[in-house]
Structure 1
């Protein structure tokens, strides 16, 4: 049984006239009749009642018509979905980000992409910068959002925005009224990112403290910015975090002092494979660049 047999059958079932059905199919009547006979022989069921006056569907023919119409509808749906998936490069798009930049913008990005590419399964992963670079080189993610320079011949990097730094503290434990008081924090306990997890970021934090004249007493470390802020809230120390965190944190117990005097910034970049020219990647990057 071939698709043409089914198409011919539906044409006759719709017209209930072999001559009109043949004209509709742009073939002559004898070949059409032979195709219908072949179909009936194959499924071993009479589909039409034929006489000199009219053509009618048998009960078996009526059932067959209903099922075949549904079959063609499903084929159309499958074809459309397959085309969409092909246009979207794959059925899955994987985005990695570092914990210190997650905000409503990432959620907005997923919503936007889902609207444009409804057949793609979007996945979000919180991954360190170094691991993101490795994952992108190995094709395990499609888009990365990182802090730090990228030195890889396989990766294309675009600056998303530059972020400053802010001291974060628990208001009920310590009072910091202005940036002038930062040097007085030399005896305080600090919570920092783990050096092995984010080496570049760790070095920047040490540089910041050196600018204000002291070496931080780092007692606690974490690999997650939200955990660092929570440790500060729980009274285990103070920390220095990207200013972007201050913009997205509205906890009344937490205070932030932006470090404006020091000329140190961290680059937040969007990274993709140099070989990736897909529409979905272009749209994702374009959306984020417009949301700086």
Structure 2
């Protein structure tokens, strides 16, 4: 059975006018009539009742329309996916995010969507601690992850896409609010508010390593699951916190909270993308190319390293 005959039948069933249906299909009316006749012979049933003034579906024609139309929609979708796979424009690129990619994501979304309007970006939120495991299980195509310091270890391909100096969040009336920068050793007597280790294990390890180098064991006042709860706790005077100095993130800080840069050669917060080199999705290299071309702020311009 020729699929084009089924398409001709569906069009005619909707129009209930052979002349108009033939025009819509860009074929002669005689060709359309012949296609319907061949289809009726193959099925062994009459599909239309035609008079001088009207065309209507027979009960058999109505059943065929109800059953075959969803199948044709599915076939059209399959054909479209096959065509786009060869051209490198699959419909969806899945991005795994951890929720604070404020500077880099809006820029790349705008640029990528303008260049590739046929690719829809689908965003999925994961804790940083689960990011690599989620990629391993194919829950997204490209993931954003964060790390503190200068070294990043991953089981996947990766690219650092954003880098900012780390700093301390100080509560209102803290004696160090007029300082340009602080060393971790300056904070020996402070109580700290930390991101939950289970959500961001690398940041926790980085922090305790610096405290150990400064020869003190930090006092931990409380732990936070999100950036917002951390801000509330700092504002309440429960302790000080450490975050990456993303300019967009800093603009979200509540009035009264102070951000002071941390000194040190590896006092940086970074965002990297990770992806599986064995993933054949043709949009992955396109996204990587565009995000790699985005101009990043130079951390050396923010604060002299001491």
Same fold per superposition (TM over 0.5): yes
Distance between the aligned counterparts of 2:168 and 2:274, measured in 1?
Answer: 28
Contact 1:191 1:221 survives alignment (8 Å): yes
Residues 257 and 211 of structure 1, relative CA distance in 2, 3 Å threshold: farther
Q: Which residue of 1 aligns with 2:304?
A: none
Distance between the aligned counterparts of 1:194 and 1:36, measured in 2?
Answer: 67
> What SS does structure 2 have at the residue aligned with 1:43?
coil
Q: Which residue of 2 aligns with 1:58?
A: 54
Matched, 1:132 2:95: no
Matching residue within 18, 21, 40 for 1:13: 18
Matching residue within 265, 268, 273 for 1:270: 273
Distance between the aligned counterparts of 1:104 and 1:170, measured in 2?
Answer: 24
> What is the TM-score normalised by the length of structure 1?
0.69
> What SS does structure 1 have at the residue aligned with 2:194?
strand
Displacement, 1:83? 1.5
Matched, 1:162 2:158: no
Any stretches of 5+ residues in structure 1 without a counterpart?
50-55
Note the aligned Cα RMSD (angstroms): 4.4
Matched, 1:259 2:262: yes
Residues 217 and 8 of structure 1, relative CA distance in 2, 3 Å threshold: closer
Q: Which residue of 2 aligns with 1:236?
A: 238
Displacement, 1:169? 0.9
**Alignment map for 1:196-207 (pairs within 5 Å):** 196-207=198-209
Q: Which residue of 1 aligns with 2:218?
A: 216
**Alignment map for 1:74-223 (pairs within 5 Å):** 79=76, 83=80, 87=85, 93-99=93-99, 101-103=100-102, 105-107=104-106, 109=108, 116=116, 120=120, 122-128=122-128, 130-148=129-147, 149-152=152-155, 155-179=156-180, 182=183, 183-209=185-211, 214-223=216-225
Which is greater in Rg? 1
Contact 1:157 1:269 survives alignment (8 Å): yes
Which has a greater percent of helix? 1
Distance between the aligned counterparts of 1:222 and 1:239, measured in 2?
Answer: 10
Residues 42 and 265 of structure 1, relative CA distance in 2, 3 Å threshold: same
Displacement, 1:200? 2.2
Q: How many residues align?
A: 270
Contact 1:95 1:124 survives alignment (8 Å): yes
Any stretches of 5+ residues in structure 2 without a counterpart?
23-27, 297-306
